[in-house]
Copies of this chain bind each other. A is one copy, B any other.
Amino acid sequence: MQSKSTDASATKGGWVAYRPDIRILDCTIRDGGLINDHQFDDAFVSSVYRACAAAGVDYVEFGYKASKKIYAPSQSGKWKFCDEDDLRRIIGAKKPGGPKITVMADATRTDYREDILPADRSVIGCVRVACYINQIPVAIDMIKDATDKGYETMAQLMAVSVVQEHAVQDALEIFAKSPVSAVYLVDSFGALYSEQVNALIKLYKQVMDGAGKEVGFHGHNNMQLAFANTIEAVVAGANRFDATISGIGRGAGNCPLELLIGFLHNPKFQIRPVLECCRDVFAPLSKTMDWGYSIPYAITAQLNRHPRAAIEMRAGPTPDDYVKFYDAMMQEES
């Protein structure tokens, strides 16, 4: 089967290729935590961590380093804060040999100077800084702070489907001069079609290749395209991919880890430990927790809007009244 593109610099081979440089980040606990305000118990977190370690996943993201001045620890679950003691209770006292422990730090919602310890006093190995286009200066300061403390850092530029490409390019050039190891294309609204992912990944790579940084992709399943778009990002030459077990995540969820590993056929990754975790943890969990594609998410994504309204509608009294929701959304558009 011939490759789709003849641009050798962008395409690293089709679906049969072996790509040893690919790294997977599992954000099951972090993105899944957006469903239940990070209230997962230790048994769940431990199961996910152990499954990822056995599967050969490179990074496991536990949650956020959210500001305790903004969010009350008595209200939210502990994985919104990822205190050192909580992490160590799951993974042991030392930095583990398996997946690198990762936390997300939201620009303007993290007391990063105080709450992110020096790396030699933490089991955390990587800090991912998430920001919107207008928060770049804060993000750069956070990246420098975490790098100075000894962490690997990555950048997640959110909601690019509503940012003009020249602004995205400006942001990328700033990240290219920062110490991040990777910059992720984030499809916050699940609104990107594959050809847009292809074009954006090429733009990201154009800026990052010269800077020696990797490009990543984080999809959402609002239009049943999270896995397809992740494949497209693989084909377009990205090397870092986010996935979650059973596709768990806020709203329509994410790219399922078991599909991504099945696609890669990379001997580094094993699907069986993920299937065990799906059977033992996620099949029961799906009886009591709601995630995954449904029509309201497709409607917000088709309109290139945040899925907020769809999430509220699905949690409300008429979760299946797609017409009322569609009419309300179209009313707001007009």
Contact = CB atoms under 8 A, between A and B. Distances in A.
A91 to B, nearest CB: 24
A285 to B, nearest CB: 11
A283 B320 contact: yes
Contacts of A320: 278-279, 283
B326 A272 contact: yes
A298 B227 CA distance: 12
A159 interface: no
Interface string A228-260: 110110010000000000100000000010110
B322 A195 contact: no
A224 interface: yes
Contacts of A256: 224, 298
B224 A263 contact: no
Given A258-B295, A262-B299, 9 more contacts: A3-B195, A4-B4, A4-B5, A14-B195, A194-B194, A194-B228, A228-B229, A262-B302, A275-B323
A165 B2 CA distance: 11
Interface in A180-207: 193-196, 198-199
A298 B195 contact: no
A70 interface: no
A1 B228 contact: no
A320 B286 CA distance: 11
A108 to B, nearest CB: 29
A227 B223 contact: yes
A279 B195 CA distance: 31
Q: How many copies does the complex hold?
A: 2
Interface of A: 1-5, 14-15, 165, 193-196, 198-199, 221, 223-229, 231-232, 235, 246, 256, 258-259, 262-263, 271-272, 275-276, 278-279, 283, 295, 298-299, 302, 320-323, 326
Contacts of A2: 199
A54 to B, nearest CB: 12
A189 B1 CA distance: 17
Contacts of A263: 193, 223, 302
B326 A4 contact: no
A287 to B, nearest CB: 10
A193 B15 contact: yes
B198 A4 contact: yes
The winner among A5, A258, A295 for most chain B CB atoms within 10 A is A295
Contacts of A5: 4-5
Contacts of A278: 295, 320, 322
